[in-house]
Structure 1
Amino acid sequence: MLSLAGKPFSVFTLYKNVWLKKFQSAAGSFDLSCLAPHDTRSGQGTLTVPVKISPMPSLTAMGFETTNLSELNITPGMQGAQALLDDFLPRMKNYRDVRDFPAVKGPSYLSVHLRFGTISIRALARHAMHAIASGQGGDGAMTWLSELVWRDFYFMILYQHPHIVQRAFKPQYDRIRWESGPAADVAFKAWCEGCTGYPLVDASMLQLNQTGYMHNRLRMVTACFLIKDLGIDWRRGEQYFALKLNDFDLAANNGGWQWTASSGCDAQPYFRIFNPVTQSEKFDAEGKFIRRYLPQLAKLDAKRIHSPWLLSEAERIKAGIALGENYPAPIVMHDLARLKTLDRYAVVKK
């Protein structure tokens, strides 16, 4: 899908507007009855066409490792996808209001099924369109539909600009000098293992490591922390997510990481730097998500759980927290890291 000038889109909103028009004009035109095996010579019966079927390669041959889907609470196949969709449709109208809160049942959780093709994105878009047209979808249906369009947008970007697999979409961002060497490797390891000292970041990484899933808001928070607090190349984080995510998709994963790094197409400005504590206070205000993955912080109240290093010694003893022993001290101070990031990104203006 190209612009009227015959060029690829680079602004999401413009792409979305054209996408919606094309989808609406095509709605209902996908008649699959012509694919049914029917003997048109007699008007009845089935026409058998010989087909040579190649052996299906094993999952191992395709690079997949054995895992226990039941432990991950994943029901595979179309049956699993349909169950999730049936559960989500009554909640769709609330999607906009609850999608950013990881302790709340807000998302559809269908990303892994979209990844493996066990549900149709056209079918999902039709459900959203129907909810919007009927007036029953609220703001949630349009917001969810926009997320589906973002997915297609990133597919288009990857197709039109394959260099993004290795380099920044915006060439000037390849001039950034990322942290490297032993200290950066130690910081990266701490991020991977959920040992940064920032509870929301750590809980998010533990969710990823334990379940193969991470809430979308948390993907932005953890990515921003790696890139703009630790100063580590976005490609290292992208590769780690690729290794761990059950719903990994190259286009979406790359798009999300480059959006956060500000190097991607229609990305956030480089000076937009999430404060991990503020994000925690806003999107996990009661600390429910944090406690799920960091039980050692469970005794902290909703105010103190977001920044345990600020506790007095007496408060830490009461809560059973020993910084550096059962929970790490912050590996970087956000305010100082923010200033360093702004200096690091100054090269993109030259």
Structure 2
Amino acid sequence: MTATALVWLRNDLRVTDNPALHAALRHGSARAIHIEESGNRLRPRGGASRWWLHHSLNRLAGELALLGVALETVAGETEVELFKAIGQHGAGAVYWNRRYGPVEREIDAGIKARLKREGIETESFAANVLVEPFQMATGAGKPYSVYTPFWNTLRKRDIERPLPRPRHGEAIRPGPVDTGYREPDWGRKIGGHWEIGEAAAHERLERFLEQLVTDYPEGRDIPAKAATSGLSPHLALGEISPRQVWHAALAVAQHEPAKASAIDKFLSELGWRDFNYNQLYHREEIASVPMVEKYAHLKWRHADAALKAWQRGQTGIPIIDAGMRELWETGVMHNRVRMLTASLLAKNLLIDWRKGEQWFWDTLVDADPANNPGNWQWVAGSGLDASPYFRIFNPVTQGERFDRGGDYVRRWVPEVAALPDKLVHQPWEAGGVANYPEPIVDLKLSRERALEAFKAL
């Protein structure tokens, strides 16, 4: 194989366990391209994810250069930009790792058909889920709609082992990576909380499995505690693969049996990612269309002032505001608090979950096309195997249970820091706080209103 091969990178920004890159390196010459795609009904990438992508591509360029592979970054309509690069470099082969959204699959199928018509070698690979969605089906041959049987099947599968770092040819000097991105002021703020790139992802995984995983089953619900892996943004852009996480965790469980039950719980949460990708694969537009049809008829409220208060962390409910401020400051939010903030918006405020999903899409560094809408639909009740409509989280009692000492709230909502523990989650019981808003909603009355609205479906 001597013709130049092109590896088309998407959300797989790594050199290890990257079968498309391995295939390209079998040729005498290989180049990599990343296209920031527009048009084609594709959902534009959110701002925080775009920031992470910019820095991740710059780190990846250095790793690829060590393998003798130059990285080119362009923006535009997918097919136009890809075939322009093929012509410029005389590429005789194009490889990529599969993606699973309906629009993306349609684009990829069209490109693959054109490549074959033009006599250009092409192949796609599985690299970004544990088991591909079309390989998971119930005994009746249908897609799974309930997580527990899905997980019971997934955990018994022989998950393919990750590929090693490929052998490299002669290293080249990495060229400048011009993503056309100009970093906003908030980017520097978020950047202080993260190390980006493939090496950082593996360091984070190793630290989690060595130091934190034992505390994961209980600690993962405590927002003030460092008990989660923090891998979500690395997985979202493919700086680490789920197969790498899976096999690294199993290896630790085998050598340290005391950690086995905690690791099993951790892997079951990783399984939810595959479950959400199954929903993305089998259903159209999960970011905009309820998976359960009757929820399309729910009467949502139009309450712009309440929505803005929620977005800005000014609801007057401390644990909600703590989560929304953590999101704005760091680009992530603790998972337990994500559920609480989503429940308040979609149920207590009766504001369309899609408005919350869009806000998260734009502000999360781990914004994921399957997980983000899948999790929002789970909370709103419109997803598969979702939280029942009558499960409406009370943010006060949730705060008192999972942030008992108020450490999380005090960090992100300093206005209430001086209150005693028994009042920090309900400052209105202390007569209010001078520089902190009163609650924008009555939790009891709004719960009753939500139950009536959902029962009417």
TM class, shorter-length = 0.7 to 0.9
Separation in structure 2 between the aligned mates of residue 70 and residue 199 of structure 1, nearest angstrom: 22
- Give 1:26 deviation, angstroms: 4.0
Gaps of 5+ in 2: 1-135
- 2:441 is aligned, of 323, 326, 332, to 332
Q: Quick check: 2:223–2:336 contact (8 Å CA) kept in 1? A: yes
Q: Which secondary structure state, in structure 2, belongs to the residue aligned with residue 150 of structure 1?
A: helix
| CA offsets 1:103-127 (integer angstroms, 9 cap, x no match) | 1111111111111111121111112
- Please name the residue that 1:73 is paired with: 193
Q: CA 1:335–1:119 in 2, change beyond 3 Å: closer, same or farther?
A: same
- 1:12 is aligned, of 140, 147, 151, to 147
TM-score by length of 2: 0.65
- 2:453 is aligned, of 326, 344, 348, to 344
- 1:191 is aligned, of 303, 310, 314, to 310
Report how many residues are paired: 315
Q: Which secondary structure state, in structure 2, belongs to the residue aligned with residue 137 of structure 1?
A: helix
Percent identity for Structure 1 against Structure 2: 40
- 1:168 is aligned, of 290, 299, 306, to 290
Separation in structure 2 between the aligned mates of residue 56 and residue 342 of structure 1, nearest angstrom: 56
Q: CA 1:69–1:83 in 2, change beyond 3 Å: closer, same or farther?
A: farther
- Give 1:18 deviation, angstroms: 1.4
- Give 1:139 deviation, angstroms: 2.8
Separation in structure 1 between the aligned mates of residue 190 and residue 301 of structure 2, nearest angstrom: 40
- Please name the residue that 2:328 is paired with: 209
| CA offsets 1:116-159 (integer angstroms, 9 cap, x no match) | 11112111111222333442324321111011110111011111
TM-score by length of 1: 0.84
Separation in structure 1 between the aligned mates of residue 330 and residue 160 of structure 2, nearest angstrom: 36
Separation in structure 2 between the aligned mates of residue 242 and residue 109 of structure 1, nearest angstrom: 18
Q: Quick check: 1:163–1:169 contact (8 Å CA) kept in 2? A: no
Q: Quick check: 1:69–1:75 contact (8 Å CA) kept in 2? A: no
Q: Quick check: 1:230–1:337 contact (8 Å CA) kept in 2? A: yes
Q: Quick check: 2:201–2:240 contact (8 Å CA) kept in 1? A: yes
Q: Does residue 280 of structure 1 match 2:389?
A: no
Q: Which secondary structure state, in structure 1, belongs to the residue aligned with residue 439 of structure 2?
A: coil
Separation in structure 2 between the aligned mates of residue 339 and residue 59 of structure 1, nearest angstrom: 49
Q: Which secondary structure state, in structure 2, belongs to the residue aligned with residue 79 of structure 1?
A: helix
Q: CA 1:127–1:136 in 2, change beyond 3 Å: closer, same or farther?
A: farther
Kindly provide the amino acid, as one letter, of the partner of residue 289 in structure 2: R
Separation in structure 2 between the aligned mates of residue 32 and residue 103 of structure 1, nearest angstrom: 36
Separation in structure 2 between the aligned mates of residue 109 and residue 215 of structure 1, nearest angstrom: 10
Q: Quick check: 2:224–2:408 contact (8 Å CA) kept in 1? A: yes
| CA offsets 1:71-105 (integer angstroms, 9 cap, x no match) | 43211111211221122112112100100111111
- Please name the residue that 1:147 is paired with: 269
Structure with the higher fraction of residues in helix conformation: 1
Q: Quick check: 1:94–1:138 contact (8 Å CA) kept in 2? A: no
Separation in structure 1 between the aligned mates of residue 200 and residue 164 of structure 2, nearest angstrom: 23
Q: How does 1:117-266 map to 2 (within 5 A)?
A: 117-134=238-255, 135-180=257-302, 184-266=303-385
- Please name the residue that 2:426 is paired with: 307
Kindly provide the amino acid, as one letter, of the partner of residue 389 in structure 2: Y
Q: CA 1:302–1:94 in 2, change beyond 3 Å: closer, same or farther?
A: same
| CA offsets 1:29-65 (integer angstroms, 9 cap, x no match) | x5669x758xxxxxxxx8x9xxxxxx9974336x986
- 2:413 is aligned, of 294, 304, 308, to 294
Kindly provide the amino acid, as one letter, of the partner of residue 337 in structure 1: S
Structure with the higher fraction of residues in strand conformation: 2
Q: CA 1:281–1:251 in 2, change beyond 3 Å: closer, same or farther?
A: same
RMSD: 2.2
Kindly provide the amino acid, as one letter, of the partner of residue 89 in structure 1: L
Gaps of 5+ in 1: 38-45, 49-54
Q: Quick check: 2:320–2:340 contact (8 Å CA) kept in 1? A: yes
- Please name the residue that 2:63 is paired with: none
Q: How does 1:45-84 map to 2 (within 5 A)?
A: 58-60=178-180, 67-68=187-188, 71-84=191-204
| CA offsets 1:170-219 (integer angstroms, 9 cap, x no match) | 00011100001xxx001101100111110000111011111111011110
Q: Quick check: 2:316–2:440 contact (8 Å CA) kept in 1? A: yes
